[in-house]
Chain A
């Protein structure tokens, strides 16, 4: 029913959607893997990242892709503040308390954003907005290609950071056993702050990519936030390869579902995938036993 170019087009859309999910899910997994805390407000951190990039872009008029790195730094710092004065205070007082805290954060961040910046629809205009790569019948906008390349770059640098540097090793040690890491002289509290900061920075990059590709409002974060959870359950809680595979899978499945059945099924298909994974492999595709 559809020719090959249309299918390739949907494939590209699925890949870019998957990239946003990957950036979100890898950040969420960093936080979970190291701190064993599930941050339900991750989607709202993404929204803050989109706004940070939007304001930096509209006030300085620089290239949004350069501004994005500054916004990642800013939101990373914001994530460290959330960890230090929020999650740190309730860690160890029961898992439910951490969940409730992030629920409160959703409310605060979302309504603060509406209050500060109103809920108008905004968009970051990319300088490459109208440029496309022509490949015969297939047109791919540069923005989508950049999003895919950028995600690959982030993942490679994260991998290098985690495997080649002392700090990355300390981070992995903390995620395996925080008491043993503490005994080996790792400052666990600093590692917690670092992992939350990295997670928030990744969410900010996802928010910026999303804001460049499509218009956004202060409520933009809710659905990608949920989808990031779906991705990490599909991929396996705490597993970064799982987050990558799960993100691509979800992005592709969602876009092909939209293409064949219509947009109304977009969220439903994600939930169906989640249910299938929970029934047949509750630990996720790459999960290692029960957490």
Chain B
């Protein structure tokens, strides 16, 4: 009945539901002292952020198959900036901005094109980024000569140690602090997508997704909104990558791999594509499943299982878990409001 009161009578808006979510997130590390579980949770939050950014792009009808490219650009650019000796906070936002710039560039290329073209170009872009950053690559050599000409010692390598938030040591910042950082960043990302979905921009995205021609007839500037969706989404992805690099303390071209492009797709679809809570639910379920399978010693099998889950979901559960959760919530809380954030 407490939930009923909270959501029915006292609920000023659907944003109220962020409070229990945040409280639960804040209490968790106090209750759980296990470092491994904290690490799994941090990774889960990271993937939720990444999925939310992918979901925003899919909400405007553009399905990216190479979102890892923007994740990787954010991670690499922020690490390079930190290697130059600039404050990590600036590094993170520069990384995210660099990802958004790359996103704008790809968006301009693809804005006239249809779904499969966008998929093709983004899919290829991620793989080509990996090849560019790879060992023996020209890009790394150019960056290194640039660094040494500026008098910096930190020679770049495709397998870079990310700078942590202290100095170049992972021990300065405890994993609990990283946990809170990722918790707030994740909640912020979800809230940002929520605000965007409920704004004029969000309605424009939905209109474009449903029918581009009709949207432009109603006065929606299709090109502008599509590019905006691209930039916001890639900024979020780059931000997630820039946070991930110092936490992981190690980045290499693996971050551009198909695996990282694939995870937000399967997570968002499992949760519910185009819903605000979809990435949250899907990220939790899929990442915990993934880590559980990893603990059980599966390495190749878990890839196989994820692929099978994706195909079965598209065939039999295309809306993901969200409709079930909404139904369950309605029964527990007795409210019927439509734009529930969870």
Contact = CB atoms under 8 A, between A and B. Distances in A.
Interface stretch (B81-89, B123-131, B190-198): B123-131
B131 A267 contact: yes
Given A40-B119, A112-B304, A264-B131, A99 B63 contact: yes
A154 interface: no
Given A40-B65, A264-B137, A271 B307 contact: no
Given A93-B318, A99-B115, A267-B128, A40 B123 contact: yes
Interface size on A, as a range, is 35 or more
Given A111-B300, A230-B124, A262-B138, A105 B314 contact: no
Contacts of A279: 109
Contact of A105 (B109, B112, B311): B311
B310 A96 contact: no
Contacts of A97: 314, 318
A180 B117 CA distance: 26
7 tightest Cβ-Cβ pairs between the two chains A and B: A107-B307, A104-B310, A108-B307, A267-B131, A111-B303, A104-B311, A38-B116
Contacts of B132: 264, 267-268
A266 interface: yes
Given A100-B269, A104-B311, A107-B262, A265 B318 contact: no
18 contacts: A95-B114, A97-B318, A100-B310, A101-B314, A103-B262, A104-B308, A105-B311, A108-B304, A108-B308, A111-B301, A114-B300, A115-B304, A230-B124, A264-B134, A264-B138, A268-B128, A270-B124, A275-B109
Given A111-B307, A266-B131, A275-B109, A226 B124 contact: yes
Contacts of A223: 127
Given A268-B128, A282-B113, 5 more contacts: A95-B114, A95-B116, A101-B310, A104-B314, A233-B121
B304 A38 contact: no
Interface of A: 38, 40, 86, 89-90, 93, 95-97, 99-101, 103-108, 110-112, 114-115, 222-223, 226, 229-230, 233, 237, 261-268, 270-271, 274-275, 278-279, 282, 290-291
Secondary structure call for the A interface:
helix
A115 B300 contact: yes
B13 interface: no
Contacts of A111: 300-301, 303-304, 307
A271 B128 CA distance: 7
B314 A278 contact: no
A108 B311 contact: yes
A96 B307 contact: no
A83 to B, nearest CB: 14
Contact of A264 (B113, B136, B300, B301): B136
A86 B114 contact: no
A95 B114 CA distance: 9
Contacts of A89: 315
A169 B318 CA distance: 36
B156 interface: no
Nearest to A266: B131
* Most interface-central of A107, A233, A268 (chain B CB within 10 A): A107
Contacts of B65: 40, 99, 103
A106 B128 CA distance: 18
Contacts of A95: 114-116
A107 B127 contact: no
Nearest to B139: A264
Contacts of A230: 124
B185 interface: no
Given A38-B116, A100-B314, A223-B127, A107 B121 contact: no
